[in-house]
Amino acid sequence: MEVLSTFLNGKNLESLASNFIPYYKMVTNTCSGLLPEDTLNWIQSALKEGRLEEVASRIQEILAASENAPLNIAVTGESGSGKSTFINALRGIGHEEKDSANTGVIETTMKATPYGHPKYPNVKLWDLPGIGTPDFHPETYLNQVQFDQYDFFIILSASRFTANDVKLVQEIKARKKKFYFVRTMVDTDLYNERKSKPKSFSKERILQKVRDYCLQNLHFEGMSEAQVFLVSNFDVSDYDFPKLEETLLEDLPAHKRHILLLALPDASEAAIERKKAALREKIWLKALKNGVLAAIPLAGFIINDLDTLDKCLKDYRKVFGVDDASLLQVAQKLERPVEEIKATMKSLDLTALIKEKTTVEKLLKLAEGFFSANGGIQGAVFHFGKTYYLHLHFLDVVADDAKILFRKILGGPF
């Protein structure tokens, strides 16, 4: 923030330019960041040369692209491998909800069916037809499902991967697309082993056995170097589900990573932290954009009225699944009154959040400290700083609520 305040007060482009990259790196130190290296360098020299309008519109473009990026995920595998259930799990919706992918039905169609993410409709999961027939031709199949529209492929199996799976993957590889092998239903493997051999049962050993078996099989079919993720579609916080999410995120380009990161279910504290870091970067970029614009005479300034703050808080609550509708769903799932859950949340009451004496005092102190450095606080600059901190404060409170809710879902106390 200091970098912005020095600039706003002294309009010192030289210092803004030289501080820009180190500050950006600091803000994004826990996430990988939306701005690629060449963009960072471009912004730095544009700032130095005072091309502020260009900087503002470039940042705006990048923010918009990250919010509107289309992401198409292909999910394939034999009928019964858990495709529909996996898709519902990634969309974070129950299998009995409306718009959920129908699970447990035998496939009859050869068409790919898209399922939009309920909160981020640009993110689409495609239920691809099974590939179980013996005379499977990967080339025809990929053309039929219009392979080029997908960002990557996920190949599911509930037992072992077949020659057809490998044939398909080799074709996907030849077309320079990414693929991931996912072995579903490991909860069933564990359950069965525990039933049949209760004395010698070891979770780790069974999982290792399943993994080795899958890898051996892939090897046998000609896939020597592969990774297999072991998951249960009924428990996305466990087994390799979190690792699968990490890997998908790592492999995507920055603007697509952002939208997937927001769309993934809040199924671990790490996932919640990831979202928080990504949003913190966005708040900083928006502040920088608005700060830069503020230096241009007559440019619009950041709006700080109650309606806008209310909308912003509501948006954060939605992103982290602590909005009214989500809380009601969780309450029903846990069979608890929704009021009881709401009573433990701090992000529900905007007025209280803003009025909270300590918070406001803290904000004012921070803002004053930063903004008085160069003598005198301009009204607009002060406002700007306060809004920036309020946004960060909202983000913290909402993310904390999300963690509280997550622990309750795992069975924590009320």
Ligand X SMILES: Nc1nc2c(ncn2[C@@H]2O[C@H](COP(=O)(O)OP(=O)(O)O)[C@@H](O)[C@H]2O)c(=O)[nH]1
Residue 159 partner contact from ligand X, Mg ion, none using kind-dependent CB cut-offs of 5 to 8 Å: none
Which residue in this structure is represented by tokens 């509107």? 68
From the CB of 89, what's the least distance to ligand X, in Å? 8
Beta-sheet pairing, 123-127 with 113-116: antiparallel
Which residue in this structure is represented by tokens 């433990």? 344
Cα–Cα dist 145/386, whole Å: 51
From the CB of 87, what's the least distance to ligand X, in Å? 8
The site for ligand X (CB under 6 A) is made up of 77, 79-85, 103-104, 107, 184-185, 187-188, 232-234
Residue 84 as a binder of Mg ion (CB under 5 A): the answer is yes
Cβ proximity to ligand X: between 107 and 281 the closer is 107
Cβ proximity to Mg ion: between 109 and 358 the closer is 109
Residue 185 partner contact from ligand X, Mg ion, none using kind-dependent CB cut-offs of 5 to 8 Å: ligand X
**Angle in degrees, 0-180, between the axes of helices 306-319 and 379-409, rounded to the nearest 10:** 30
User: What ranges in 77-151 are assigned the alpha helix state H?
Assistant: 83-91, 138-144
Residue 92 partner contact from Mg ion, ligand X, none using kind-dependent CB cut-offs of 5 to 8 Å: none
Cα–Cα dist 138/135, whole Å: 10
Residue 190 partner contact from ligand X, Mg ion, none using kind-dependent CB cut-offs of 5 to 8 Å: none
Cβ proximity to Mg ion: between 83 and 317 the closer is 83
Q: Under 8 Å CB-to-CB from 184, ≥6 apart: which residues?
A: 81, 82, 85, 86, 156, 157, 158, 231, 232, 233
From the CB of 241, what's the least distance to ligand X, in Å? 10
Gyration radius from the chain CA atoms:
25
**Cα–Cα distances in Å, from 240 out to 73, 186, 273, 392, 406?**
18, 10, 18, 32, 18
Element (H, E) at 210: helix 203-220
Structure tokens that stand for 43 in this block: 């912004």
Cβ proximity to Mg ion: between 188 and 208 the closer is 188
From the CB of 126, what's the least distance to ligand X, in Å? 12
Cβ proximity to Mg ion: between 32 and 79 the closer is 79
Cβ proximity to ligand X: between 107 and 401 the closer is 107
From the CB of 102, what's the least distance to ligand X, in Å? 7
Residue 234 partner contact from Mg ion, ligand X, none using kind-dependent CB cut-offs of 5 to 8 Å: ligand X
From the CB of 302, what's the least distance to Mg ion, in Å? 47
Q: Which residue is nearest to Mg ion (CB)?
A: 84
From the CB of 101, what's the least distance to Mg ion, in Å? 6
Question: Read out DSSP for 37-96?
Answer: HHHHHHHHHHHHTT-HHHHHHHHHHHHHHHHH--EEEEEEESTTSSHHHHHHHHHT--TT
Cβ proximity to ligand X: between 79 and 227 the closer is 79
Cβ proximity to Mg ion: between 129 and 242 the closer is 129
CB–CB of 78/130 below 8 Å?
yes
From the CB of 149, what's the least distance to Mg ion, in Å? 20
Binding segment toward Mg ion, per CB under 5 A, in 81-89, 193-201, 258-266, 276-284: 81-89
Residue 76 as a binder of Mg ion (CB under 5 A): the answer is no
Residues that bind Mg ion in the complex, under the rule CB under 5 A? 83-84
